[in-house]
């Protein structure tokens, strides 16, 4: 059964004065998936995430959030419940964690008991004043507040920033648990191995432009000898658009069951193959950024 699309961006552009932050960006995210969003600092990730959450309008284009459109003149009153964890935020309240959670729960007309229990699971000191918390403890508290009321869509900007290895593992499991309950997670992180472990699909952007959208588990690196000119043109039509060459390697964005057929084509063209391996997200990212440089 095909899943419905809950985030659907159509040629989104965003200008800050003369600076072109997002360039014809089109991305779609299916219901119930954990979707990774990757790019350098300044690539436009945070800008796009703020538009998703209704905190900013695009300069042109639009984004459909479960069929409701955000555009340059549209309303930002979103029907779906969206939780947002910004990258750079710090509380300086004299309230303790339980009091702050209750405060935000009241703003959302939500029950605070579940969130307070969630905070205790993350080993937060519920009696310590928020201003005296460590950066890691603050980050956990921010995640708890973002998930108040069990949002339909959870937008996370560097959720594990400032956490120790145990905290990173805890947050990872919480994201998976929320996802199992039906929450769609849109997550940005510089820790590509983390996204490799969590995400079903990713989008990679650079300078506000989309470089890649697809699975991070269906890209294969095929090492071959002496790449002949025009070899891409020798491939079947269905594979031409899925393959490109980087440093004597054929990078194929194909499903696992398609690999034998591609290898057979190379064999039939007398092209020697020395190895095949799934390409990790970090390698895919580095190759794409190198090509775009």
SS3 call for 24? strand
User: Has residue 90 got a pLDDT over 80?
Assistant: no
Which has the closest alpha carbon to 242: 233, 234, 251? 251
Which of 137-146, 183-192, 204-213, 237-246 bottoms out in mean pLDDT, i.e. has the lowest? 237-246
Mean local confidence (pLDDT), 123-140:
86
Task: Report yes or no: 29 and 6 within 8 Å, Cβ to Cβ.
Answer: yes
- State the average pLDDT for the chain: 85
Question: How many CA atoms within 13 Å lie on the side-chain side of 150?
Answer: 10
pLDDT, greater one: 277 or 35: 35
Q: pLDDT above 90 covers what percent of the chain?
A: 31
For residue 268, the model assigns a pLDDT of 84
User: Has residue 80 got a pLDDT over 80?
Assistant: no
Task: Report yes or no: 216 and 199 within 8 Å, Cβ to Cβ.
Answer: yes
Mean local confidence (pLDDT), 33-38:
95
Instruction: Please give the domain boundaries of the chain with CATH numbers for all domains.
Output: 5-211 (3.40.50.300), 217-292 (3.30.70)
pTM (predicted TM-score): 0.79
Digit-coded pLDDT (tens) for 160-194: 887 888 888 888 888 998 899 889 999 999 888 88
| Highest mean pLDDT: which range of 53-62, 114-123, 163-172 | 53-62
Separation between Cα atoms, residue 179 and residue 82, nearest integer Å = 14
For residue 74, the model assigns a pLDDT of 53
Mean local confidence (pLDDT), 17-45:
94
Which has the closest alpha carbon to 65: 83, 73, 54? 54
- Burial pattern 188-211, b for ≥16 Cβ within 10 A else e, equals bbeebebbbebbebbbbbbebbbb
User: Has residue 99 got a pLDDT over 80?
Assistant: yes
């Amino acid at each position: 059964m095909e899943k419905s699309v809950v985030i659907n961006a159509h040629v989104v552009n965003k200008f800050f004065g003369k600076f072109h932050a997002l360039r014809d960006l089109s991305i779609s995210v299916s219901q119930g998936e954990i979707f990774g969003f990757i790019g350098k600092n300044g690539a436009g990730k945070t800008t796009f995430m703020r538009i998703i959450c209704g905190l900013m309008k695009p300069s042109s284009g639009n984004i459909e959030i479960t069929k409701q459109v955000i555009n340059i003149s549209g309303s930002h009153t979103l029907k779906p419940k969206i939780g947002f964890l910004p990258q750079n935020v710090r509380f300086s309240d004299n309230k303790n964690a339980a009091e702050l959670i209750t405060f935000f729960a009241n703003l959302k007309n939500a029950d605070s008991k579940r969130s307070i229990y969630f905070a205790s699971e993350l080993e937060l000191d519920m009696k310590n004043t928020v201003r005296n918390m460590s950066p890691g403890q603050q980050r956990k508290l921010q995640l708890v507040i973002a998930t108040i009321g069990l949002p339909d869509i959870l937008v996370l900007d560097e959720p594990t920033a400032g956490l120790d290895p145990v905290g990173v593992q805890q947050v990872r499991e919480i994201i998976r648990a929320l996802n199992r309950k039906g929450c769609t997670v849109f997550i940005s992180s510089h820790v590509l191995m983390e996204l490799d472990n969590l995400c079903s699909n990713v989008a990679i952007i650079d300078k506000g432009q989309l470089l890649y959208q697809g699975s991070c588990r269906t890209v294969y690196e095929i090492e071959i000898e002496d790449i002949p000119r025009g070899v891409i043109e020798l491939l079947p039509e269905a594979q031409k658009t899925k393959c490109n060459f980087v440093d004597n390697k054929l990078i194929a964005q194909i499903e696992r069951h398609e690999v034998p057929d591609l290898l057979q084509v190379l064999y039939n063209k007398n092209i020697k193959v020395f190895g095949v391996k799934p390409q990790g997200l970090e390698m895919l990212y580095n190759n794409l950024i190198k090509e775009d440089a």
